Amino acid sequence: MLLACNLVDFNNANAETVRAASCSEEDVQKAIDAAHDGDTIAIPAGTATWVAEDGNRPAVFIAGKVVTLSGAGIDQTVITDGNTAAWKDLLIWIQGEKPARITGLTFKGSIDTNRGAAAIAVHGGCRNWRIDHCKFDGSPRGVWAYAGCFGLVDNCIFLNVGQGVVIKGEGPKSWERPLMLGLPHAVYIEDCTFRAGGAATDAYHGARFVFRHNAVVDTHVAQHGCDSGGYRSTFSYEVYENRIAKEKLGSWEVPRSMHFRGGTGVVFNNTLSGYTTGIDVANYRSSERLRQLCGKWGICDGKNPIDGNEEPNGYPARDQIGRSTHQVLEPLYEWNNTLDQRDADVNVSTGAQHIKEDRDYFNDTQRSGYRPYPYPHPLARKWPRQPPEDHSAPTVPKELAVRTVSQTGAELTWEPSTDDEVVMGYYVWLNGQRVTTITDRSCTEYTFKRLKRPLTQYSFAVSAFDAAGNESGPSALVGISHRKGETP
């Protein structure tokens, strides 16, 4: 079945507004404790300094309640971080499966004195949370979403923030789940402004994020997890319809507008200006010069058991650019991006010899079967989100056919499914595991460009899903066996 999205409807007639006596952390916490599902906690205008009790306990805690925490507006309700030394201080912590919304607040901190802190953290598998119309001024980190916490950050301002939105995935579990481009299973960042910071994003450990319709000035979009230092790489990313500009040199020179170190996704329709490179990709584990960053995983050199070792240099390096579920090849696709009004292609960093064009990534090529998730995000139109009233699964896709297109390539085609509402897309299965997703509902084909190796047996199937998350059973399995000497 499709991963649960916790679509809970709490728009009921009993919802109330609970007013905090002031914007102090004590009064805000009292109001949260008094609220029930569906309530709004109103924080008045004013300025207050919040201090976490220690390095791990947040100032304000929201757990097990679907509530809206609402300030009087940006620069009206101002929360200052009073911590100066602790490493993991958090001002607001959202915990558990029930989603919360935070809106209309300004957070002020010191990027130099409290490097590890975050203004807001989301933890415990929370889905469909929303953080909107907030300002983060000088915070080391703005929003930190932990493993599997998918939601929306929209219409926020990040000014002189070390990392705007940090996304930590589920580690090895993330790399076992199917690729879900164009679906809600990600942290969405849209319609935000980022200015004069270190990075607009910082993603790692199997994270999934979508970065769209943002304005970025004097900072960059990045995923820093690179299967090094004990962390796994970011799993997937969709970066599109952004304006990213470098206007002046700050205290830290950022030469590239985007920097990706692993995983896969799509990058398209971005307008870039002032940077040395536009879309930069790297693989630190293939660089002897960066051996110290490889941590316990070691260099990818053709001998490391965690890598594919299909070529003398160790290709494919685990989690490298173009790798997806169970390390199946899913190339990164780039199209319609410009840097200073010229075509901006993918640039491979020096020493990343594992990353090759027309294999691990494709320039100026749209991803077949991909359709972006609706914009604006449904959570921006209505929060909390009401689940669709649909309990019928689509029909099972029929007439699945597979043909070999190379020694390690296979093309799948099938007849379209039907649904009482509408089919939203298809899952593609490989050897009993869902590995990727088709979100263009009119697309009924998929090509595996590079399976592991010849002389290997594979089985394939396809299932359909609808907007409510209902999934059909998989189609009848079709198997092939690649053999040496096959021709397309």
Per-position pLDDT tens, the chain of length 488: 333 333 344 455 578 999 999 999 999 999 999 999 999 999 999 999 998 765 557 889 999 999 999 999 999 999 998 875 544 567 899 999 899 999 999 999 865 554 557 899 999 889 999 999 999 998 788 999 998 899 999 999 999 988 999 999 999 999 999 999 999 999 999 999 999 888 999 999 999 999 999 999 988 998 877 777 778 999 999 999 999 999 875 545 577 899 999 999 999 999 999 998 899 999 888 887 777 778 888 899 999 999 999 899 999 999 999 999 999 999 999 999 999 999 999 999 877 889 999 999 999 999 999 999 999 999 999 998 877 788 899 999 999 999 888 777 899 999 999 999 899 999 999 999 999 999 999 999 999 988 876 667 899 999 999 988 899 999 988 887 655 444 33
> What's the confidence (pLDDT) of residue 5?
34
Distance (Å, rounded) from C-alpha 469 to C-alpha 478?
25
> What's the confidence (pLDDT) of residue 89?
61
Phi, psi angle pair for 404, to nearest 5°: -80, 135
- Under DSSP, the state recorded for 285 is G
Helices (DSSP H) in 170-329: which residue ranges?
A: none
| SS3 letters across 436-469 | EEECCCCCCEEEECCCCCCCCEEEEEEEEEECCC
- Verdict on whether the full-model pTM lies above 0.85: yes
> What's the confidence (pLDDT) of residue 456?
77
> What's the confidence (pLDDT) of residue 68?
97
Distance (Å, rounded) from C-alpha 438 to C-alpha 124?
28
Are the CB atoms for 259 and 163 separated by under 8 Å? no
> What's the confidence (pLDDT) of residue 116?
58
Are the CB atoms for 354 and 283 separated by under 8 Å? yes
From the number of C-beta atoms within 10 Å of its C-beta (0-12, 13-18, 19+), residue 289 rates as exposed
> What's the confidence (pLDDT) of residue 289?
78
Across 118-140, b (16+ Cβ under 10 Å) vs e yields: bbbbbbbbbbbbbbbbbbbbbbb
Give all domains of the chain, ordered by start, each with its CATH number: 17-362 (2.160.20.10), 390-481 (2.60.40.10)
> What's the confidence (pLDDT) of residue 197?
82
- Under DSSP, the state recorded for 33 is H
Across 55-67, b (16+ Cβ under 10 Å) vs e yields: eeebbbebeebbb
Across 296-306, b (16+ Cβ under 10 Å) vs e yields: ebebbeeebee
Phi, psi angle pair for 381, to nearest 5°: -85, -35
